[in-house]
Structure 1
Amino acid sequence: MAPPSRAGRPRARIALLAALLLAAGCSATFQPRGPMVRAPDLTAERIVTPDGVALPMRLWAPEPDGPPIRAVVLALHGFNDYSNAFEGTGRFFAAHGLATYAYDQRGFGAHDRPGIWPTADTLVADLHTAAALVRRRHPGLPLYLLGESMGGAVILSALAGPPPPGFEPLEPAGTILSAPAVWDRDSMTTLQRAALWVSYRTVPWLRLTAPRELKIKPSDNIEMLRGLSRDPLVIKGTRVDAVEGLVRLMSRAAAAVPRLPAPALVLYGRNEQVIPRAPIEKALAAMPRRVHVAVYDQGYHMLMRDLQGETVLRDMVSWIGDPSAPLPSGAHRQPFSEPAGTEMAGR
């Protein structure tokens, strides 16, 4: 057999290189927490985790000459968002005697590696770190957890499982979950599962954007949505491996719903379009009886930032003051599913 010609060798090398690059490109990229290298710390602008990662942090507290702090809220934002999601919420809470801490979760906002999924265990560990540091700063004050969408999924996962090594159980004074992300893999269609399975194993690095044809409306606050579209810290293109990571987290959260400890308040809008109706109804049916559920007729996914957001915030403040009292809006008396023969508003 004749040896390959010199002209054929470069083409063979190029083909081999292309194959190697393709194989390298098929590896998912994550940023799980590393080994403990220092004591965690809470500064004016960031939370420093035991593995030395700095998470940008925001604080809204009552004015020195205003009402005294009566409780502390630790808030976790949603997927592709960041701590600024709680700007309006934090200011409202501060006017009612609540101090609100919110941090950019690892992989989001002003974190060093935005867009790279950190793993569910890492998000849970970061929550434990933040809660311990906030408690240390405010000894004796009740600590409430507030999670929006993905943030709610992180809180559900953290409350249902054992704490990471070296941490105490969270045991908050109460938990508020606003449109918690519970879209588990079993609730996805066969086509959705197949598409994610194939893309995760072939192009995990590919960044996806929501097609305009979907016409998903996360809020009726159009000016707020336009601001998010201009905000460079809001992630616009999502990596496939981050989508896979989110689905794993949501599946874990959905399984944790029956173990959500009271007191807890779960909020959904009847116009929810980001999370499908079926997994929400499945989660609500699995909620423990002592968990309060509030449904807002005019609400969308971003309840705290909707046009009726102040109604939601007033309910939250009232519930923190007395979890057993009726909500001012009456949303606790509204079912998520409408009677047969009617359609959901906004659908």
Structure 2
Amino acid sequence: MQDGQAADSRHSKVLIIGSGPAGYTAGIYAARGALSPILIEGPQPGGQLTITTEVENWPGDESVLGPELMARMGEQVRKAGVEVVSDLIVDVDLTRTPFLAISDGGTHYTADTIVVATGASARWLGLESEAAYRGRGVSACATCDGFFYRGRVCAVVGGGNTAVEEALYLTNFAEKVYLIHRRDTLRADRTNQRRLRANPKIEMIWNAEVAEVLGDTSSVNGIVLRNTRDGTTSQLSLHGLFIAIGHDPATALFKGQLHMDEEGYILVAPGSTATSVPGVFAAGDVQDKLFRQAVTSAGMGCMAALEAERYLAGHNTHMIATDGTDANLQI
């Protein structure tokens, strides 16, 4: 990264990178704190909710379309006084202060604090038919969409803890749940495997992969399975297909500058959004691989903005953990 001022340079007290529920909420709270934040929308303004259909677990809305919810949130952010910029950050330097972020158009954004809210994206199987039915029977979030399959038949693809937990969760609604795994053993821990075996609603399908998603003009009605050992195919009737083969946090931009776990999620201090670099905060799916909900992301966005405000006020240069040690050093 080149140092120095660019021809097109902007400075803000708070720079928010990302525009899902975490980024938008951080913007609202930062604006209410009179911090004049700049929010960089990134490649997908509004985040993952813009590619979902109905959302029924957002407080205050019995049912709302994901794109509609994010459009309303974006409008509220702008009315609050946040400067929203349609831009993409391609490089950052967190070793200097003020921090520096460079966009693909060459604009240099400097900031006293940064809120990272770049989110994460689900891994998909890569099938054309899978993409065609996303939001119409194909999902990557049982907690988000399981309610729609009350009394119906579903399948989960995957072999790790996430897949098993998704299958177990779906049994609260579905009549039957298939767990499809391309091998003959699961990667999930023993506790989850015990729960799986004890649940009469779940049936394992071993050594199989989804070759095609079947459906009509409105929804999924089945899948084609391919045996991973002999290549033979078969059809399975169902109403919902949940892909649980992992998520990829959008953190490549910060590798080598922020502490991360082995999967690339940004590590934060316990009970905080503070990262390993004082003045840089991470909110939403970029650091949360457990809940991954819009409402928890929004809560973390609120936390990040408030922590940035305290940092700027000089009261939170070093986050103190409950045991009296420097929390920033614990991550």
Q: Which has a greater percent of helix?
A: 1
Q: Give the TM-score, by structure 1 length.
A: 0.27
Q: Which has a greater percent of strand?
A: 2
